Each structure stands twice: as structure tokens, then as C-alpha cells.
Amino acid sequence: MSEAIETPKAGWRMKVAIFALCTAIFTVLWFAVAALGTKWGWWPWQVGLGQMTIEVGPRIALAAVVVSLVAQVIALIKAPRKQAFILALGATLIAAFTMFRLAGLGAQASALPPLHDIQTDWSNPIQYSETLMEARAAQGETNPVLDAPTVPDYAEARWPGTAGRLVSEIQEEAEAKEAGKGTVYPTLESLYFDGTPAEVAAIAERVMDRKGWEIVSPVPENADADSPIQVEATATSGWFGFKDDVAIRLRPENGVTRVDIRSTSRVGLSDLGANSTRVYGLMIELEDRADGRRTPGT
């Protein structure tokens, strides 16, 4: 009669590996809770983004990496090694990915200029409606909507040489820098259409509605064919629930319809290029759907 062979167990070393895996998973959950808690109104964005994500988050991620690496070393001390090492390795991969992701976002934020207000025509800035401005004020916006905004002084510590400069100038420089790459800050400019402002505005409203944005100022009913129109919407980000306001201004000009777009974040100094990407995306869709062009002539 054969005797059962009992498989040796890793014992306390397995417990260390499990603890490391739990720590790595906790790190991921920490960032998810920080973002979703902000979105759902559990705490202000300064807590969710500023404290939980930017200040405390990297420390938690680093601790998870260290714990998981220690768990790997402990798992290799003696046999059996396989199960404990695999768990510790998984923990390391999760923690390291989180850490690298944070580092990448930090590098991106430092590399991009401190812009959160983008538009196609700074020579004649778009003015948001009273309805939209009241919504911004009710949420406690920290970014005022100005005709000629400048970068605040506190940006100098992270973005040297930008404090006090006009946002329009920095946007122009960013577009010139990125022009050859086709990324982040593409060139934004006015669009021209043969259709009336009302016709083009109806298409613009459908585009924004299809993107899931909240329409704040729709196309007026029975609008005169050649009257100026402004369509407005609010876009909300997926994780933190940050709100950016978008306005499309349509005006008759020398027999064609001129369209300009503005997108402004309600909070935060840098949008990581989100508003520029949004405006450019609208430009491309309107050009395609309404047969637009970048110059007044045909």
C-alpha cells in the first residue's frame, strides 16, 4: 500500500507573497477611489487629485514595489519556491506598472505647457453665455474666463518662464512646436462653410450630443438663417469627472459662415492637452460632415 506524499508548503513565505499582492491591488484601488470619489462628490478635486493621487499616491506605489520585491527574495530562499514567487512577481508587475504610469503622467505634465483655455480666435475671444457662466460659478470654478488670460505666478515653479505670459502666446508656441509631429497641440484655426450658421450649428449640436456632452445652449428654435449662433456644451471626464466647457460660435462673414471654437477647463492649471485635442477633434468632424475648409474662399 503506497503512502500519500505530502506536498511541501511555502508557509510564512506564501503569506508574505499574498500580503505583497494585496498591497499591489490596494495601490490600484487607492487611485481608483481617489478618482471616482472626486467624480461622485465625496471630496473636492484638491483632495482626490492633489493629495490622494499626486502627494500620497506615489508613496503608496513605491511601498508596494518594495514589498513585492522583498517578497520575491523571500520566496527564493528555499523550496518550494514556485507559487510564492509567482504571486510576488505578479505583485511586482502590478505595482511597477502603477509606478511607471504615475511617472509618465508626471513627465507629461511637466513637458506640456500650463494651458487649460484653448480657442481658435484669440483676437476676438468667444464669450460664454450667462447660463454657462452661472454653471461654472455654481461648481466653484477656479479658472476664470477672460479675454486675455495669463499664466498665474504660481506656475513658475513647475513651468519656468511661463508666469505672467499670455495664454494665447503659449498656445501659439505649443502649436508651432507640435506642428511637425501631429500630436498634443495641433494648429487650431477658424473654419468656413457655405451653409448658413443655423445649418452648420445643427450639425455641430448633433456632433457634441453624440459625444455624450451635456448641451447647455442648443440651437435656438426658428433661428434666422443668417443670424449669429453660439452652441455650448459641457464635457465631463471619465475618472475624476472634471468638466470642460465648449462653445462653438457661428457667424456670417462675407457670404460664408465662420466657425470658431473655445474649450475651457473649470479647474486645474494644466489640462495635459485635453482641450486642444477636443477642439481639433470638433474641427475635423465639422469639416467632414459640413464640408468645411480653413480659408474663406472656395
Q: Average pLDDT in the 270-293 region?
A: 93
Q: What tens digit of pLDDT does each residue of 67-114 get?
A: 999 999 999 888 888 889 999 999 999 999 999 999 998 888 888 999
Percent of all residues in the chain with a pLDDT value above 70, rounded to a whole number: 95
pTM: 0.87
Helix (H) or strand (E) holding 119: strand 117-119
The answer to whether residue 9 scores a pLDDT higher than 50 is yes
Cα–Cα dist 21/41, whole Å = 30
pLDDT of residue 177: 83
pLDDT of residue 6: 46
CB atoms within 10 A of CB 272: 16
The answer to whether residue 137 scores a pLDDT higher than 50 is yes
pLDDT of residue 182: 58
Burial of 59 (0-12, 13-18, 19+ CB in 10 A): exposed
pLDDT of residue 5: 46
pLDDT of residue 10: 62
The answer to whether residue 7 scores a pLDDT higher than 50 is no
pLDDT of residue 140: 85
pLDDT, averaged across the chain: 91
Considering only CA atoms, which of 245, 241, 243, 250 is closest in space to residue 279?
245
Give residues with Cβ within 8 angstroms of 158, minimum separation 6.
109, 110, 114
Q: Average pLDDT in the 164-192 region?
A: 87
Kindly report each contact of residues 239-242 with a partner whose C-beta sits within 8 Å and lies 24 or more positions away, as own/partner.
Answer: 239/35, 239/36, 239/39, 240/35, 240/38, 240/39, 240/45, 240/48, 240/49, 241/38, 241/39, 241/40, 242/45, 242/266, 242/267, 242/268
Crossing angle for the helix pair 197-210 and 274-290, to the nearest 10 degrees: 130
Considering only CA atoms, which of 124, 86, 67 is closest in space to residue 261?
124
Query: What is the sign of the dihedral through the CA atoms of 37, 43, 45 and 50?
Result: negative
Q: What is the three-class DSSP state of 67? A: helix
**Of the listed ranges 4-13, 128-137, 220-229, 266-275, the one predicted with least confidence:** 4-13
Give residues with Cβ within 8 angstroms of 222, minimum separation 6.
none
Q: What is the three-class DSSP state of 259? A: strand
The answer to whether residue 248 scores a pLDDT higher than 70 is yes
pLDDT of residue 8: 57
The answer to whether residue 226 scores a pLDDT higher than 70 is yes
Radius of gyration of the chain (CA): 26
Is residue 294 within 8 Å of residue 189, measured between CB atoms?
Answer: yes
pLDDT of residue 153: 93
Q: What tens digit of pLDDT does each residue of 194-204 get?
A: 999 999 999 99
